[in-house]
């Protein structure tokens, strides 16, 4: 067998490096790769399941066409591409290029994705999306405050004396981080988890605080007040490197007692945690993504970020604020979150864009032309977008839909033609990470099954059929020229050795460790900005970190706050269909507290109806002490066939900044169904 070093390109913190062994063009074995210091113990269950994902009998490996009765039948690649090219040309001729929707998700990372944009530019443009479902409120909050979005290398946390995991469930969503947190604990670090749920991560902590969902900013600001009032702030650091501290101090009107009323956490616990943070020698705060998926999400992150700022824990080893690290995104012309903004004058006439967070209403509000053709790749919007009932109606209204997929997802099931998508072993690529500092090369190591073509090859074939002017610079390279295109794509970026990158993960030379170690900040003032004029100018929010209750959209009388967290068995809607995953993970259920279950006469396994003004979903309930009273928890990404559809209850709404999706503002009620 031949050994290769590769990387997982999924939308996941860890971006694990691992070794694969192949024989006769097939992957036979997956093992850890110790050379990546962030992920030395190898991939999680999802990464190990790539063997099944690659060779599953359920994988789509030939083009499929919808029949009048709704079933799919196999057709040839040439026939499929002829039909698609004809539909695209017809729509452009009759209605213009904006009559075509190009929807791309984040299910597969890599530079090869650039080719899709090149194709649609040559096509003359398209209607596309802006914003992101995952993290942009937090990205924007960090950018406004610190100027750039970065943090220390993952293994640096071993040096921390105190770690606060604020709304982050690393044990399920960033399992490699737990290696380094475990070593920190062995070194004597105190580990605190702040989360409405008792997660598997909380089981590993010394202290667990469980605020009411959406109230984290109030907790953080009360802690900041205690730290300042007790003289625990780092006055010299603040004087030299922080702008707006006096205004911030004057604004702090949430006492621990008031925070107790808002969060449900006892005032004495808030004071104790604040003093611990203020006295910590090396404090690292790690914030998750779920707590910024509210209408107050960006301001929540700004409030939490104030804790390491006022204690002087920025720019030092073992310290900092870990939300996202974009330092390995060295090949991006525009770094996120700027790329999530709506279309600018420079984008026009190429792009007409609608918000991902409010996709359904925005779709139906489109002026001429309407959408005649939809092209969907790297995503499953029917499952993942808020207000999925309206999303389904939107896609049903489109006359012709193409989905590029590996499996028959909820979105693929609505397609007129499904084109098989490549697997991770079938095309070379270069992948960055938003957690570890490595840029990584992913070689082509396996033969694609059936008639699977990489998306780059699909676009090339379509361009040829449509008579596009494919220039000599190979913006849409032919398959035989793809490797050359990839090498050329990375050749103009300094700070690394391309030959070394082809052999192993590489940390670019410009990677700053500790992050912000030079204590220079890319903000308008050149300092850390607790007061941000840009926050007001761009987003209309308070220039200072502030707490605003999450908007209940007129349904505040409903008793339950719905949360839809990620879980260990899937990355959003990926991997949950695989047998190896299903064999070790229990079926999804609606988790409710013991107190609420007792009040409603519910026991685990009972059938319930969950509802609000947008719709209803039925399923089984699980009674657990891991959920606090007034909360209802159901994983995100569950397919309709698995009993999903939770997003039909979620109102399409944006976060306060960054054009994120306010998933967790949702309120619902429960009704027990007859046995």
DSSP string, 227-296: HHHTT-S-HHHHHHHEESHHHHHHH----HHHHHHHH---HHHHHHHHHHHHH-SSEEEEE-SGGGSSTT
Find the Cα–Cα–Cα–Cα dihedral 7, 10, 16, 19, rounded to 10°.
Answer: -40
Determine the pLDDT at residue 330. Answer: 86
Which has the minimum average pLDDT: 189-193, 332-336, 602-606? Answer: 332-336
Res 587 pLDDT > 50: yes
Res 613 pLDDT > 70: yes
Residue range 233-238: average pLDDT? 98
Indicate the CATH number for domain 2-55: 2.20.25
Indicate the CATH number for domain 136-327+514-539: 3.40.228.10
What is the share, in percent, of the chain residues with pLDDT greater than 90? 90
Residue range 239-250: average pLDDT? 98
Report DSSP state, residue 454: -
What is the share, in percent, of the chain residues with pLDDT greater than 70? 97
Q: Where in the chain is the domain with CATH 2.40.40.20?
A: 560-672
Q: Rounded distance, CA 657 to CA 546, Å?
A: 13
What integer best gives the mean pLDDT of the chain?
94
How many CB atoms neighbour CB 486 within 10 A? 21
Question: Phi then psi for 432, rounded to 5 degrees?
Answer: -105, 180
Res 138 pLDDT > 60: yes
Res 247 pLDDT > 90: yes
Query: What are residue 18's DSSP bridge partners?
Result: 6, 32
Determine the pLDDT at residue 492. Answer: 87
Determine the pLDDT at residue 340. Answer: 47
Determine the pLDDT at residue 470. Answer: 82
How many CB atoms neighbour CB 485 within 10 A? 19
Determine the pLDDT at residue 593. Answer: 97
Residues 6+ apart with CB under 8 A from 449: 54, 55, 59, 61
Q: Where in the chain is the domain with CATH 2.20.25?
A: 2-55
Grade residue 86 by pLDDT with cuts at 50, 70 and 90.
Answer: very high
How many CB atoms neighbour CB 76 within 10 A? 12
Grade residue 484 by pLDDT with cuts at 50, 70 and 90.
Answer: very high
Which has the minimum average pLDDT: 294-308, 470-484, 577-591? Answer: 470-484
Grade residue 471 by pLDDT with cuts at 50, 70 and 90.
Answer: confident
Domain 560-672 adopts which CATH fold? Barwin-like endoglucanases (2.40.40)
Q: Where in the chain is the domain with CATH 3.40.228.10?
A: 136-327+514-539
Half-sphere exposure of 39 (CA within 13 A, CB side): 27
Which has the minimum average pLDDT: 132-136, 208-212, 261-265? Answer: 132-136
**Is 64-130+338-424+448-476 a CATH 3.60.15.10 domain?**
no
Determine the pLDDT at residue 342. Answer: 54
The answer to whether 428 and 443 are in contact (CB under 8 A) is: yes
Q: Where in the chain is the domain with CATH 3.40.50.740?
A: 64-130+338-424+448-476
The per-residue pLDDT for range 32-41, each reduced to its tens digit, is 999 999 999 9
Report DSSP state, residue 124: T
């Amino acid at each position: 067998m031949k050994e290769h070093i590769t990387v997982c390109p999924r939308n996941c913190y860890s971006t694990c490096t691992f070794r694969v062994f192949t024989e006769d063009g097939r992957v036979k074995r997956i093992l850890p790769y110790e050379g990546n210091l962030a992920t030395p113990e190898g991939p999680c269950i999802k990464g190990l399941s790539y063997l099944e994902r690659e060779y599953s009998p359920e994988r789509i490996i030939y083009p499929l066409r919808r029949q009048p009765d709704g079933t799919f039948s196999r057709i040839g690649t040439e026939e499929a591409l002829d039909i698609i090219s004809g539909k695209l040309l017809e729509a452009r001729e009759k209605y213009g290029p904006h009559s075509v929707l190009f929807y791309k998700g984040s299910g597969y990372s890599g530079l090869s994705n650039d080719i899709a944009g090149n194709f649609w530019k040559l096509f003359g443009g398209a209607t596309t999306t802006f914003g992101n479902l995952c993290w942009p409120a937090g990205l924007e909050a960090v950018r406004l405050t610190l100027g750039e979005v970065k943090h220390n290398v993952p293994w640096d946390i071993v040096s921390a004396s105190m770690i606060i995991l604020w709304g982050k469930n690393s044990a399920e969503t960033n399992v490699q981080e737990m290696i380094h947190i475990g070593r920190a604990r062995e070194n004597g670090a105190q580990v605190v988890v702040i989360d409405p749920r008792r997660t598997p991560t909380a089981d590993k902590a010394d202290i667990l605080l469980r605020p009411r969902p959406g109230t984290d900013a109030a907790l953080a600001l009360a802690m900041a007040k205690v730290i300042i009032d007790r003289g625990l702030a780092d006055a010299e650091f603040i004087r030299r490197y922080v702008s707006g501290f006096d205004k911030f101090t004057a604004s702090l009107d949430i006492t621990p007692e008031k925070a107790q009323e808002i969060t449900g956490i006892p005032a004495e616990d808030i004071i104790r945690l604040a003093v611990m943070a203020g006295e910590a020698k090396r404090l690292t705060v790690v914030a998750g993504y779920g707590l910024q998926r509210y209408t107050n999400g960006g301001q929540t992150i700004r409030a939490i970020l104030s804790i390491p700022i006022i204690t002087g824990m920025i720019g030092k080893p073992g310290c900092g604020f870990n939300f996202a690290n974009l330092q390995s995104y060295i090949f991006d012309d525009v770094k996120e979150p700027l790329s999530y903004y709506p279309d600018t004058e420079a984008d026009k006439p190429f792009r007409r864009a609608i918000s991902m967070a409010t996709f359904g209403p925005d779709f139906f509000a489109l002026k001429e032309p309407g959408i005649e053709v939809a092209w969907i790749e790297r995503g499953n919007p029917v499952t993942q977008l808020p207000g999925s009932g309206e999303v389904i109606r939107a896609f049903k209204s489109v006359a012709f839909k193409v989905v590029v997929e590996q499996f028959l997802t909820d979105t693929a099931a609505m397609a007129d033609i499904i084109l098989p998508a490549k697997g991770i072993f079938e095309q070379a690529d270069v992948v960055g990470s938003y957690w570890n500092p490595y840029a990584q090369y992913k070689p082509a190591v396996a033969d694609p099954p059936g008639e699977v073509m990489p998306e780059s090859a699909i676009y090339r074939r379509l361009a040829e059929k449509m008579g596009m002017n494919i220039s000599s610079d190979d913006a849409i390279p032919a398959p035989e020229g793809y490797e050359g295109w990839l090498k050329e794509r990375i050749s103009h970026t300094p700070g690394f050795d391309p030959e070394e990158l082809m052999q192993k993960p590489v940390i670019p030379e410009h990677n700053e460790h500790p992050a912000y170690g030079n204590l220079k900040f890319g903000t308008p003032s050149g300092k850390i900005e607790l007061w941000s004029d840009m926050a007001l100018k761009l987003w209309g929010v308070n220039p200072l970190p502030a707490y605003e209750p999450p908007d209940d959209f007129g349904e505040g009388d409903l008793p339950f706050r719905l949360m839809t967290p990620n879980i260990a068995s899937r990355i959003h809607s990926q991997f949950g269909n695989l047998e190896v995953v299903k064999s070790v993970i229990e079926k999804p259920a609606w988790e409710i507290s013991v107190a609420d279950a007792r009040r409603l006469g519910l026991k685990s396994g009972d059938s319930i109806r969950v509802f609000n003004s947008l719709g209803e979903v039925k399923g089984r309930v699980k009674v657990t002490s891991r959920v606090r009273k007034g909360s209802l928890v159901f994983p995100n990404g569950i397919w309709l066939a698995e009993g999903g559809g939770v997003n039909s209850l979620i109102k399409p709404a944006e976060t306060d900044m960054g054009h994120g999706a306010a998933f967790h503002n949702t309120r619902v009620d429960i009704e027990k169904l007859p046995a």
